[in-house]
């Protein structure tokens, strides 16, 4: 019996590893679609491949479409496009296949990192293995198999190993200096939002190394060992990257006190840990049809914040050791402070649980340990809840695979194109081959990956209320053939708004690329 129990974690790890590996193999043959953020990153890479500078997006200038506008992109870190590009070059793959390999390796690497961290911080191999199973059940784990989410999956691959380093290092030496310096660079390369995780992790490391010291001076000495390389890492990131452009933290809309500013960060252990934000299509930031009115959503968030606080206090009270207690306290309340201030200042950071995924990952082993020691009814309810989450996540990935395989269009990039159909995409790629000085206009930024020889303008979609900022839409001047590709649903006021955005052109010709997409072509100067 003891032997069976000792081998149980190995069986869980083997089954989990094989399942994740199979998902990765399937993904190679059914590449994912693109989320908008990594699509922007890949458009930067596209500009670089066409002769542009590193991390610079080149696009037609709004004041004169015949000229180019260059912008160093600091909104997103470069890892989301450079890692797939590495595999693309090394293995001679298309972009879709390179993204698939990136996702497959990141998922396996991330699971290995968190398993190592869970064991190192004091949990048994069995609890650590079950925690991985719990993580795999979450929708956040399955999303990259349907939509490549860039920095999200890269961050998952690294942050477990970063946490492992924060708990494994035992003394102040060159290893500590190197770890602090390099982890800042690597984490930011994966995703810029790693900076707050970096600060929280190093705070845990500092407190843990200093906890046995007596006197403020000794704490300061330990802090300098961590602080100096950390400052060097962050200063380097700022000088060579962040200072060259704007980021989500660059512009504030002013201070605004709202109930959700602090209740949302407080609610994230349950929202992110149990995929509830995904299930509700985003409670406060909708990425699908809203399930509730905004007022009801805020009320739900407040209730979940209270429940999350109770859960966190239970985890702290029943923590296997002080180290796990330390990590939970600093990360949870550190996230509350960081994001609470960001939301109060109305920075361009959305109310999405994905920003707090690290909280859901951290509470996993504590929650599994807590449930395993509870009554049978609690264990049964928890297991039923996990099965429901797994079913929801599995249904999502099956539906996603089906759409990406049988519905999405495929072009030269190999990416599953969900914002165009195959006949329309074939016509667009044919036009791209026949022209060298044309401008293509899309309202979905992923389709630009199929344009190899011409320039591209990506416009934001127009909502049904027709409210747009014409300063963002207007492109003056003339620069050869103009091809605007719009959904058939834009017929009417929306198409007129788009055509008015190019006052230098006249004589637009309309042609149906397919039943659902229309080409508006103009070659005459007004």
The verdict on 386 and 466 lying in the same domain is: no
Same domain? 141 vs 20: yes
Residue 108 lies in a domain: yes
Is 327 among the domain residues? Answer: no
Query: What are the φ and ψ backbone dihedral angles of 146, each rounded to 5 degrees?
Result: -110, -45
Print pLDDT tens along the chain (526 aa).
344 456 888 899 999 999 999 999 999 999 999 988 899 899 999 999 888 889 999 999 999 998 998 988 888 889 999 999 999 999 999 999 999 999 999 999 999 999 999 999 999 999 999 999 999 999 999 999 999 998 899 999 999 999 999 999 988 889 999 999 999 999 999 999 899 999 999 999 999 998 877 778 888 888 899 999 999 999 999 999 988 877 776 667 778 888 888 898 999 999 888 888 888 878 888 776 777 888 888 899 899 999 999 999 999 998 888 999 999 999 999 999 988 888 888 887 888 888 889 999 999 999 999 988 878 888 899 889 889 999 999 999 999 999 999 999 999 999 999 999 999 999 999 999 999 889 999 998 899 999 999 999 998 888 877 777 777 888 999 988 999 999 998 888 888 888 888 999 888 899 999 999 999 998 888 7
pTM exceeding 0.85: yes
Same domain, 394 and 503: no
Query: Considering all CA atoms of the chain, what is the largest pairwise distance in Å, rounded to the nearest integer?
Result: 84
User: Can you spell out the DSSP letters for 213-240?
Assistant: --SHHHHHHHHHHHHHHHHHHHHHHHHH
Determine, yes or no, domain membership for 453. Answer: yes
The whole-angstrom separation of Cα 149 and Cα 42 is: 12
Q: What is the pLDDT of residue 256?
A: 81
From the list 502, 508, 498, the residue with the least C-alpha distance to 468 is: 498
The pLDDT value recorded for residue 207 is 92
In the prediction, which pLDDT does 6 show? 66
Phi, psi at 445, each rounded to 5°: -80, -5
With tokens 């007129």, the residue in question is: 496
CA distance 78 to 72: 11
Task: Give yes or no: residues 73 and 145 share one domain.
Answer: yes
pLDDT value for 472: 80
Alpha-carbon distance of 436 to 65, in angstroms, equals 15
The Cα 367–Cα 128 span in angstroms is: 11
pLDDT for 1? 39
Mark whether 519 and 443 lie in a shared domain. Answer: yes
What is the pLDDT, as a whole number, of residue 5?
53
CA pair distance 199, 77, nearest whole angstrom: 18
Same domain, 401 and 472: no
In a domain, residue 305? The reply is: no
Residue 100 domain-assigned? yes
Residue 383 within any structural domain of the chain: yes
Number of domains in the chain: 2
Same domain, yes or no, for 16 and 76? yes
SS3 assignment, position 191: coil
**Are 29 and 73 within one domain?**
yes
Nearest to 34 by CA among 458, 404, 430: 404
106: exposed, middle or buried (Cβ count in 10 Å: 0-12, 13-18, 19+): buried
Both tokens of 107, joined, read 């998922």
CB 518 within 8 A of CB 491: yes
Task: Provide the domain limits for residue 438.
Answer: 419-525
Question: How far is residue 400's CA from residue 416's CA, in Å, rounded to a whole number?
Answer: 10
Q: Which residues pair with 416 in a beta bridge?
A: 410
Domain closes at, from 388, 411, 434: 411
pLDDT tens digits, residue range 306-364?
999 999 999 999 888 899 999 999 999 999 998 888 888 888 788 888 888 999 999 99
Q: 40 with 58, same domain?
A: yes
Give the single-character DSSP code of 447. G
* DSSP SS3 for 51: coil
Q: Are residues 429 and 456 in the same domain?
A: yes
pLDDT of residue 199: 95
Beta strands in 462-504 (DSSP E): 482-487
Residue 333 domain-assigned?
no
Do residues 391 and 520 both lie within one domain? no
300 domain residue, yes or no:
no
Q: Which two tokens stand for residue 350?
A: 């959305």
Judge if 494 and 511 occupy the same domain: yes
């Amino acid at each position: 019996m003891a032997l069976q129990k000792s081998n149980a974690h190995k069986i869980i790890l083997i089954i989990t590893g094989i399942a994740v590996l199979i998902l990765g193999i399937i993904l190679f043959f059914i590449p994912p679609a693109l989320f908008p953020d990594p699509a922007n990153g890949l458009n930067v890479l596209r500009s670089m491949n066409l002769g542009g500078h590193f991390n610079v997006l080149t696009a037609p200038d709004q004041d004169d479409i015949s000229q180019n506008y260059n912008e160093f992109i600091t909104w997103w870190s470069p890892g989301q496009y450079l890692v797939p590009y590495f595999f693309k070059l090394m293995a001679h793959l298309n972009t879709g296949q390179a993204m698939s390999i990136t996702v497959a390796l990141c998922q396996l690497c991330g699971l290995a990192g968190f398993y190592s961290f869970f064991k190192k911080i004091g949990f048994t191999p069995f609890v650590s293995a079950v925690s991985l199973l719990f993580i795999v059940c979450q929708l956040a784990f399955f999303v990259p198999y349907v939509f490549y989410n860039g920095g999200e999956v890269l961050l998952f691959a690294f942050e477990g190993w970063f946490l492992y380093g924060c708990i494994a290092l035992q003394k102040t030496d060159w290893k500590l200096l190197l770890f602090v310096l390099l982890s800042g660079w690597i984490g930011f390369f994966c995703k810029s939002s790693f900076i707050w995780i970096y600060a929280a992790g190093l705070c845990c490391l500092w407190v843990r190394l200093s906890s046995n010291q007596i006197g403020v001076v000794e704490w300061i000495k330990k802090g300098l060992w961590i602080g100096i390389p950390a400052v060097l890492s962050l200063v380097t990131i700022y000088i060579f990257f962040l200072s060259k452009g704007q980021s989500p933290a660059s512009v504030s809309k002013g201070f605004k006190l709202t109930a959700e500013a602090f209740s949302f960060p407080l609610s994230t252990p349950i929202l992110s840990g149990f995929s509830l934000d995904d299930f509700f299509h985003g409670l406060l930031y909708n990425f699908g049809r809203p399930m509730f009115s905004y007022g009801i959503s805020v009320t739900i968030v407040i209730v979940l914040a209270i429940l999350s606080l109770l859960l966190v206090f239970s985890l702290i009270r029943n923590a296997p050791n002080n180290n796990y207690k330390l990590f939970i306290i600093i990360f949870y309340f550190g996230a509350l402070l960081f994001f609470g201030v960001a939301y109060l200042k109305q920075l361009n950071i959305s109310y999405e649980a994905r920003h707090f995924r690290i909280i859901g990952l951290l509470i996993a082993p504590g929650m599994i340990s807590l449930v395993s020691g509870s009554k049978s009814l609690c264990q049964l309810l928890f297991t039923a809840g996990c099965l429901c989450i797994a079913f929801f996540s599995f249904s999502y990935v099956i539906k996603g695979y089906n759409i990406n395989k049988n519905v999405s269009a495929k072009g030269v990039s190999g990416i599953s194109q969900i914002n165009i159909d195959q006949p329309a995409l074939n016509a667009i790629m044919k036009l791209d081959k026949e022209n060298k000085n044309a401008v293509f206009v899309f309202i979905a930024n992923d389709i630009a990956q199929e344009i190899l020889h011409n320039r591209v303008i990506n416009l934001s979609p127009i909502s049904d209320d027709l409210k747009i900022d014409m300063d963002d839409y207007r492109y003056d001047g003339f620069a050869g053939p103009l091809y605007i590709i719009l959904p058939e649903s834009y017929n009417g006021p929306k198409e007129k708004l788009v055509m008015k955005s190019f006052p230098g052109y006249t004589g637009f010709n309309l042609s149906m690329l397919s039943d659902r997409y229309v080409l508006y072509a103009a070659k005459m100067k007004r």
